[in-house]
Structure 1
Amino acid sequence: MEAPQNLTTSDLDVAAAICINVAFLARNFYDSTTLDVIYALAEFYLDHPNVTNQEIIEFSGARLNDLTYLENFVGGPENVRDSIYWVAQVSPYLPRTPGTGHILIPIFWVFTILTTFVLGLRLWSRQTIAGGIRAYDWIMVVGYFMTLGYGSVALYHAININRTSQFWDYSWNEVALQQAFYMALDVLYPCTSLVIKSSLLLFYYNLSPARYLKWCVWATFAFSVATVIAAVSYSLFKCAPVAYWTEWYTSVCDTHQTIPYLVTGAAMILSDIIIWVMPLPMVMRLQLYRRERIAAIFTFSLGIFACIASGFRLSALHRYFLTSGGTGKTPIINAWTIVELNLAIICASAPALRALCIKHVPKLLSYGPSNSSVNERQYNTSSHSNQKVHGRVIIHHDQIARSNSSLSEKASTSSPRIGSPV
């Protein structure tokens, strides 16, 4: 092969593929960078022009069946030799750029601190206003720790493993470890997302006695579970054996991995949208002041930001290939995943935070008539369990769920308008 100085993306793909395949072959060099393995074998071929397979095996530590498989795949021993020579010749022109894992550091810490603070306020709101922390709150706490676990694993990968962006600067052991981390994160993400969605769906289930809402909750939960099972199953069994990096040549992998990832990713985004839109019809039927209605819709619609982040994650995943230009792209995928999961927790906690604001800083959320005495008289017939702040009744989601009548009936019997449920 001729050694071009201006390497194309296709050339970089070929160089990365040769480096990885030859590095897996040379078991005696698993701790050396893949490019150093290329240099060593190129020099060995130059010193032994009539080298035999047995000599290659003794020098590199390769297994006979692996060497035979590689020779058959590239079209013979001479093509293996030529490929190694070509990479050695173009090596001065191969790009060497630092890893992009550093982008995860500020993203991880900013969102971890913010989510921890918001979740703490949520639990405080539930305990002091709603009368106690409910099951869906504890489920969200589990989702928080799973999100923290995902971010920690991704951050460790970014700092300790993803030192450079090109595969020719890694040893085979490091390449294999990267693939193991990628699979672990690939499985942890949909499981974490399902836990967060389960918390929201259980919250909706207890929010209203409306039959349509309960059926929607069950249908959406079943759809979400089925999507996660499909995503996790494909991630684990797309190759045989599961740890395909231990049998690089003899493992059998799906050759069209992009399509299943895009389909399951799109299905997860669809379930996100359904979950965040689900309570809006109920909110629209509440008898609220216009500003209260807008605030309630805005509170429940904050999840659209998590859906947008999920879309960016899917776009980054679509651009990810194992040897795309010799560059791994997992850091950008992990970055969008961390943003998506944390935003989901933050947005799901918005209603509880709003109830907390109404109680402790009511001026930030003042609606309806400005005369507090009018408001006081207007709500005198409300339930004693509702808390009054500056003449305003705070009705928490859980208090709505305890009502035996519909929300509209409660509004008509207690007052011309009811306080915002969020």
Structure 2
Amino acid sequence: MGTPVNLTKGDLDLAASITINLGFLARNFYDTRTIDVISAFAGFYNDTPNATDPEILAFSGARPQDLSLLLQVLGERDMLRDSIFWLDAIRQYLPYTPGTGHLLVPVFAVFTVITTIVLALRLWSRQTIAGGIRGYDWIMVFGYFMTLVYSASALYHAVNINISSQFWGYSWNEIARQQMFYIVLDILYPIAALIIKSSLLLFYYSLFSGRYLRLSVWATFGFTLATTMTIILYSIFKCHPVAYWSEWYTSECDSHQKIPYLVTGSFMILSDVIIWVLPLPMVLKLQLYRREKIAAIFTFSLGIFACIASIFRLQAVHKYFFTSAGTGKTPIINTWTIVELNLAIICASAPALRALCIRHAPKLLSYGSNGTDSSSNSSNNSNNNSGNGSMNERNRKNTKSVHGRVIVHHDQIRPSDLASLRSGISRTGSGWSDVEKSVHYSSTSRIGSPV
């Protein structure tokens, strides 16, 4: 019979594992697609069926210790040859889908423009209405630039590196660059989030006069800082050496990387919720008209949208952290991260924008002679309202200023997987036997990459 057509998820995971391991081994082919490296190896074994170690090393450019380690994992030399022949035979049936990086381009463009405009309006509002730009505003500007750095790095990865969704569509050098970008993005995200949250907390600290509320701000900052440092340190040191792609066979990585990212991601969402809820008790105590109080609560509650984006990001991490069937979709995680960071900046700037609208476009918020709640009062209360006008104006002025992809797991080609492969293969001079179509590989072989 011919080559099997209906490849299972286990088949595709094993194919990804073989291409990764052979891709790293063949140093002479680091700029060649890993699936083409497999074909080159197949041609080499056809010409040299009983190739010795020195001949394999000369052809591939591998280091002796790398070949020795790989053969130890496989159990015997014939396993290497059989896996290469199997993968070369099914290569025409492997899926080749374009990378998902195109999703990120419009998201980056739209949110960068909107966030830039919002931040510029925020600074204008602070300067012209609130008496000047404060320290927490400059911290937010820094958070904006860190968000741009993250977004630009993710965009570069999406456009220039994420050309395919499968590992067999990449060369080893491209895979190594992906791993470097994953570490960089894993570090940039919590830093940008910490800076944005620090700006908000400092703003709250300047508003709160009560000891309990100020202690709450400090406690929230400590919790956020601890979570951020945990993510950064884990992202850097989860593998030894840090640049694990340079020592593929001897490097050691945490085999449960998904769990720490999900736990720390949940803690970050918790800190988001705490930060956006913190000012609400203070806003509820303000002496405002009911409609103004509702508007102020709504302004502060806009942060819920950033929290929702955080939840969607965590869901993407849960779904796409590991590759499935040889396919990785890290750009989807990066897309939700960009949405989350930009929404946090936009929502944090809402109070300043509201103050700007009250000053320059009061009709947008129903302020003015025909828009205030006092218009609903009867005429016999007008004197009382006018008597308290100066006080209400002062209150109103005061309220204007309120506001981890493709981790590549270091699972080697498992002997149990290839043992089933070998037991199911009965190669003859004319091709592959009927048994090939029934070969089913263990789905426990995973290849992934850190987000």
Structure 1 residues 397, 49: CA separation in 2 closer, same or farther (over 3 Å shift)?
A: same
Offset at residue 293 of structure 1 (A): 1.7
Q: Secondary structure at the match of 1:363?
A: helix
Q: What's 2:398 paired with? A: 395
Q: Secondary structure at the match of 1:340?
A: helix
The range that moved more, 224-233 or 3-12, is 3-12
* AA aligned opposite 1:71: L
What CA deviation, in whole Å up to 9, does each residue of 1:281-310 have, x standing for no partner?
111122222211211111111111111111
Q: Secondary structure at the match of 1:6?
A: coil
Q: What's 1:165 paired with? A: 165
Offset at residue 396 of structure 1 (A): 4.3
**Does the aligned pair in 2 maintain the 1:129–1:396 contact within 8 Å?**
no
After superposition, residues 358-377 of structure 1 pair within 5 angstroms as 358-365=358-365, 366=367, 367-370=372-375, 376-377=386-387
Offset at residue 265 of structure 1 (A): 0.6
**Does the aligned pair in 2 maintain the 1:313–1:337 contact within 8 Å?**
yes
Unaligned runs of 5+ in 2: 404-451
Q: What's 2:132 paired with? A: 132
Q: What's 1:402 paired with? A: none
Structure 1 residues 293, 361: CA separation in 2 closer, same or farther (over 3 Å shift)?
A: same
Distance (Å, rounded) in 1 between the aligned partners of 2:109 and 2:52: 55
Offset at residue 371 of structure 1 (A): 7.8
Distance (Å, rounded) in 1 between the aligned partners of 2:391 and 2:321: 64
Distance (Å, rounded) in 2 between the aligned partners of 1:120 and 1:295: 22
Distance (Å, rounded) in 2 between the aligned partners of 1:47 and 1:116: 61
Distance (Å, rounded) in 2 between the aligned partners of 1:352 and 1:110: 21
Q: What's 1:25 paired with? A: 25
What CA deviation, in whole Å up to 9, does each residue of 1:244-296 have, x standing for no partner?
11111100000011111111111111101100011111111222222112111
Q: What's 1:205 paired with? A: 205
**Does the aligned pair in 2 maintain the 1:126–1:132 contact within 8 Å?**
yes
**Does the aligned pair in 2 maintain the 1:157–1:178 contact within 8 Å?**
yes
Q: What's 1:143 paired with? A: 143
Q: Secondary structure at the match of 2:117?
A: helix
Distance (Å, rounded) in 1 between the aligned partners of 2:391 and 2:11: 77
Q: What's 1:16 paired with? A: 16
Offset at residue 133 of structure 1 (A): 0.3
Q: What's 2:295 paired with? A: 295
What CA deviation, in whole Å up to 9, does each residue of 1:388-412 have, x standing for no partner?
xxxx9432465xxxxxxxxxxxxxx
Distance (Å, rounded) in 1 between the aligned partners of 2:82 and 2:322: 23
Distance (Å, rounded) in 2 between the aligned partners of 1:293 and 1:321: 43
Q: What's 1:254 paired with? A: 254
Q: What's 1:348 paired with? A: 348
**Does the aligned pair in 1 maintain the 2:142–2:195 contact within 8 Å?**
yes
Indicate yes or no: 2:389 matched with 1:379. Answer: yes
* AA aligned opposite 2:169: D
**Does the aligned pair in 1 maintain the 2:103–2:335 contact within 8 Å?**
yes
Q: What's 2:116 paired with? A: 116
Q: What's 2:103 paired with? A: 103
Distance (Å, rounded) in 2 between the aligned partners of 1:284 and 1:396: 12
Indicate yes or no: 2:54 matched with 1:54. Answer: yes
Offset at residue 324 of structure 1 (A): 2.3
Cα RMSD of the aligned pairs, angstroms, is 1.7
- The alignment's TM-score, normalised by the length of structure 1, stands at 0.90
**Does the aligned pair in 2 maintain the 1:320–1:328 contact within 8 Å?**
yes
Indicate yes or no: 2:161 matched with 1:156. Answer: no
Distance (Å, rounded) in 1 between the aligned partners of 2:223 and 2:70: 43
Distance (Å, rounded) in 1 between the aligned partners of 2:388 and 2:3: 84
Offset at residue 370 of structure 1 (A): 2.0
**Does the aligned pair in 1 maintain the 2:323–2:329 contact within 8 Å?**
no
**Does the aligned pair in 2 maintain the 1:359–1:394 contact within 8 Å?**
no
Distance (Å, rounded) in 2 between the aligned partners of 1:73 and 1:320: 28
Distance (Å, rounded) in 2 between the aligned partners of 1:380 and 1:69: 82
Q: What's 1:67 paired with? A: 67
Offset at residue 328 of structure 1 (A): 1.8
Distance (Å, rounded) in 2 between the aligned partners of 1:380 and 1:290: 18
Distance (Å, rounded) in 1 between the aligned partners of 2:299 and 2:319: 33
Structure showing greater relative contact order (alpha-carbon pairs closer than 8 Å, 6 or more residues apart)? 2
Structure 1 residues 382, 284: CA separation in 2 closer, same or farther (over 3 Å shift)?
A: closer
Distance (Å, rounded) in 2 between the aligned partners of 1:70 and 1:188: 35
Offset at residue 376 of structure 1 (A): 4.9
Offset at residue 378 of structure 1 (A): 2.1
Distance (Å, rounded) in 2 between the aligned partners of 1:174 and 1:94: 19
> How many residue pairs were aligned?
392
- The alignment's TM-score, normalised by the length of structure 2, stands at 0.84
Offset at residue 139 of structure 1 (A): 0.1
Distance (Å, rounded) in 1 between the aligned partners of 2:263 and 2:11: 30
* AA aligned opposite 1:369: S
Indicate yes or no: 2:80 matched with 1:77. Answer: no
Distance (Å, rounded) in 2 between the aligned partners of 1:3 and 1:376: 89
**Does the aligned pair in 2 maintain the 1:22–1:34 contact within 8 Å?**
yes
Distance (Å, rounded) in 1 between the aligned partners of 2:323 and 2:397: 57
**Does the aligned pair in 1 maintain the 2:183–2:236 contact within 8 Å?**
yes
Percent identity among equivalent residues? 66
Indicate yes or no: 2:95 matched with 1:92. Answer: no
Distance (Å, rounded) in 2 between the aligned partners of 1:381 and 1:9: 70
Distance (Å, rounded) in 2 between the aligned partners of 1:258 and 1:317: 8
Offset at residue 47 of structure 1 (A): 1.0
* AA aligned opposite 2:188: L
